[in-house]
C-alpha cells in the first residue's frame, strides 16, 4: 500500500489552511502543494467575476463541462447556472461576492475549498449585505484548476432577518401593486410581487421595495 504524505500549511491573516494528502506512488502529475492556495482561490474569484460580467468564455474556461451547482434547493448544470445569473441581472438584481476565511483541502489533482462568501445583493438604489456558506470542488488538469461543483446556502445569522412577511402585509402589498401598476418585492423572503401576480424571486433583498 503506497505511503501518504500529509502537509498542513497555515498562512496569512485570513487563516487559510491547506491540507494535502498525496500518494507518493501516484502516477498522475500533482501540482506543487504549497503554491495551490492562491491558485484555487483565484479560480473561485475568477468565477465570481465571470458571472458578474456575464463573461461566458471565462465561465466555461474556469468550470468543467459537467459542472454542477446546488443553489437555493435546486440543481443546475453549467449552462443553466450561468443563465440563472443572467436572468437575475436582467431583472435588475446584482451581486457582490468575496471569498473570506478560506479552508482548502488538496489531494493531488482534486481540491475542496470551504469559505464564507461575504457580499451583497443590490437592486436599484437598495443594497443589502448578505453572507453565504459555500463549498467548491476543483479538478486539476492541463495545468489548470477548474470548478467541478459549488454548493451555496444563506448564512443562518445573515438570514435571520429574512422572514416571510405577515399575511396582512402581503395583502396590503398585493393591493398596492395591482391598484398602482407597480412592481415590488420582499427582500430575502423569496417573494416577488408585480401588478398581475405573485412570482418567486430567490434573489430578493431585505426590504419591501416598490418600483414606480
DSSP string covering 54-112 = T-HHHHHHHEEEEEEEEETTEEEEHHHHHHHHHHHHHTTEEEE--EEEEEEEEETTEEE
The percentage of the chain sitting over the pLDDT mark of 70, rounded to a whole number, equals 60
Q: Give percent of the chain above pLDDT 90.
A: 43
CATH of the domain at 129: 3.10.450.50
Examine the domain organization and report whether 12 and 97 are in the same domain: yes
Domain count, the chain: 2
State whether 197 and 135 are in the same domain. Answer: no
57-75 pLDDT per residue, tens: 999 999 999 999 999 889 9
* Containing structural domain, residue 207: 167-211
* Phi, psi (rounded to 5 degrees) for 72: 60, 35
What confidence score (pLDDT) does residue 190 get? 46
CA distance 17 to 66: 28
pLDDT tens, position by position, 96-151: 999 999 999 998 999 999 999 999 988 888 888 889 999 999 999 999 999 999 99
Closest CA to 121 of 196, 212, 188, 36: 188
Q: Which residues contact 147 (CB under 8 A, 6 or more apart)?
A: 43, 44, 47, 62, 63, 64, 67, 136, 137, 138
Amino acid at each position: 500500500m503506497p505511503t501518504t504524505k500529509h502537509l498542513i500549511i497555515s498562512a496569512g491573516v485570513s487563516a487559510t489552511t491547506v491540507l494535502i494528502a498525496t500518494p507518493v506512488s501516484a502516477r498522475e502529475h500533482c501540482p506543487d502543494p504549497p503554491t495551490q492556495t492562491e491558485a484555487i482561490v483565484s479560480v473561485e474569484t475568477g468565477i465570481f467575476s465571470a458571472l458578474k460580467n456575464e463573461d461566458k468564455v471565462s465561465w466555461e474556461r474556469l468550470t468543467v463541462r459537467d459542472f454542477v451547482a446546488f443553489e437555493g434547493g435546486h440543481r443546475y448544470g453549467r449552462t443553466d447556472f450561468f443563465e440563472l445569473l443572467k436572468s437575475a441581472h436582467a431583472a435588475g438584481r446584482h451581486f457582490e461576492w468575496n471569498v473570506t476565511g478560506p479552508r482548502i483541502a488538496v489531494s493531488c489533482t482534486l481540491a475542496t475549498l470551504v469559505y464564507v462568501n461575504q457580499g451583497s445583493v443590490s437592486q436599484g438604489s437598495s443594497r443589502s449585505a448578505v453572507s453565504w456558506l459555500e463549498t467548491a470542488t476543483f479538478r486539476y488538469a492541463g495545468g489548470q484548476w477548474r470548478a467541478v461543483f459549488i454548493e451555496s446556502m444563506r448564512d443562518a445569522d445573515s438570514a435571520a432577518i429574512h422572514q416571510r412577511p405577515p399575511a396582512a402585509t402581503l395583502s396590503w402589498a398585493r393591493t398596492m401593486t395591482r391598484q398602482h401598476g407597480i412592481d415590488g418585492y420582499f427582500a430575502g423572503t423569496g417573494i416577488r410581487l408585480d401588478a398581475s401576480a405573485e412570482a418567486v424571486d430567490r434573489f430578493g433583498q431585505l426590504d419591501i421595495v416598490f418600483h414606480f
